[in-house]
Structure 1
Amino acid sequence: MTEAATPLESALDVAALILILIGALLCLTAAIGLLRFRDVPSRLHAATKPQVLGLILVCLAIALSLRSWPVVAFLVPVVLIQLATAPLSAHMVGRQAYRNGTIDENGLYVDELAESHRTPPAAGG
């Protein structure tokens, strides 16, 4: 015989369902943005901001749904690693795109790398 769910458990399940839905929609918009945007900075924005927030919401929904401390202990490093690696990878991709010349330099408001772009890194000056 199964026990009836308490109102608190039902509310947590509904909250988990809503968080999963919002997180999945954010991840979907990130994927659509990667396909639809034309330039590298816009694609980097689409790849990092909504995707990371979507992952956080999905992990929060999993934690609310399963209500287990070992699950939370597993999800916290997943979120922390994602928060650490997404900006770093976006920075590296953006820097390489700048070096390759695939970024529209006329569209930049401030070009802090203009001086390093003129002088090759190993030229010594």
Structure 2
Amino acid sequence: MNAILDAVSLALVLAGALLCLSAAVGLLRFRDVPTRLHAATKPQVLGFLLICVAIALSLRSWPVVAFLVAVVLIQLATAPLAAHMIGRQAYRNGTIDEPSLYVDELAQSRETPPAAGG
């Protein structure tokens, strides 16, 4: 049974490492902000999650699992928030290709600045 769990954890580490590598390549190769944000959040978080599951399977300890649950929850909470803030700032700076947007939900916020009160 230990050999099977070790093999599964090895496979999970390799899959997680490949996902994190693909996220890094996507950050370097993609040309615009939304696609880079997609590459930075989706495969990286999934790869991190797979690596954490592999660590939990490999060490087989409840304190380690409890610690990894907290780490994964923090990662799942901060990655989308950071991507949202970077995307919003890129929109405000004008570095997003606006004709490629299907829906522009922030168009009204451009007309009236948020601190203007009107």
TM-score surpassing 0.5? Answer: yes
- TM superposition score normalised by structure 1: 0.92
Tell me what 1:112 maps to: 105
Which one of the candidate residues 91, 98, 119 is aligned to 2:91? 98
> Is 1:48 the counterpart of 2:41 in the alignment?
yes
Which one of the candidate residues 4, 8, 20 is aligned to 1:11? 4
> Counting helix residues as a fraction of each chain, which structure ranks higher?
2
Tell me what 2:78 maps to: 85
Which one of the candidate residues 66, 74, 79 is aligned to 1:73? 66
Per-residue Cα deviation, 1:88-125 (whole angstroms, up to 9, x for no partner): 00000000000000001110000011111122222232
Look at both structures and tell me which one has the larger radius of gyration over its CA atoms. 1
% identity of equivalent residues? 79
Tell me what 1:5 maps to: none
- TM superposition score normalised by structure 2: 0.97
Task: Kindly tell me the number of residue pairs found equivalent between the two proteins.
Answer: 118
Query: What is the rounded CA distance, in whole Å, between the counterparts of 1:115 and 1:86 in structure 2?
Result: 26
Tell me what 1:4 maps to: none
